[in-house]
Amino acid sequence: MVLPSALKGAFDVTGLLRPHRDEYLNLWTPSGFDAVLAEFAASQPGGVVAPRTRKRLSMSATPVTIDKQSRFVIPPELKARAGLGERIVLAGAIETIEIWSAEAFEAEEATFDDADLFFDGFEGL
């Protein structure tokens, strides 16, 4: 897979792929994933994460190497888990890049949420 130029600026030579349930994959920068882990720890009583939970969080993110042409390989087991085929969609999602099968993204996009409702009536600044 190749990152589009608009999305590759945050990535140096590594990224972390983590499935979001069985819907899509998240591609995180290492510092972004570390920030999520810190936020998760802060949300726990006393700021302490149970050892098993800490281990599961770390194990759930697969490191990938991003080359100078912004290419990386999605491991086959992650492709299968997210249902990725020939057609995929990359969606910038604030702290991460979401990697969707085109069919799943189209279905997700068809649902409306509060942000969509806001922009339906938004007349500009």
pLDDT digit string, tens, across residues 23-58:
999 999 999 998 888 888 889 998 888 889 888 888
Three-class secondary structure of residue 1 per DSSP = coil
29: its two tokens: 């920068």
* Per-residue pLDDT tens digits of the chain, which is 125 residues long: 998 888 877 888 999 999 999 999 999 999 999 888 888 888 999 888 888 988 888 889 999 999 999 999 999 999 999 999 999 999 886 678 999 999 999 988 877 677 777 777 777 66
**Given this model, what pLDDT does residue 62 score?**
96
**Given this model, what pLDDT does residue 51 score?**
87
The CATH class of the 5-121 domain is: alpha beta
Q: What is the DSSP string of 30-81?
A: HHHHHHHHHHHHHHSGGG---HHHHHHHHHT-EEEE--TTSB----HHHHHH
Q: Where are the domains of the chain?
A: 5-121
**Given this model, what pLDDT does residue 8 score?**
77
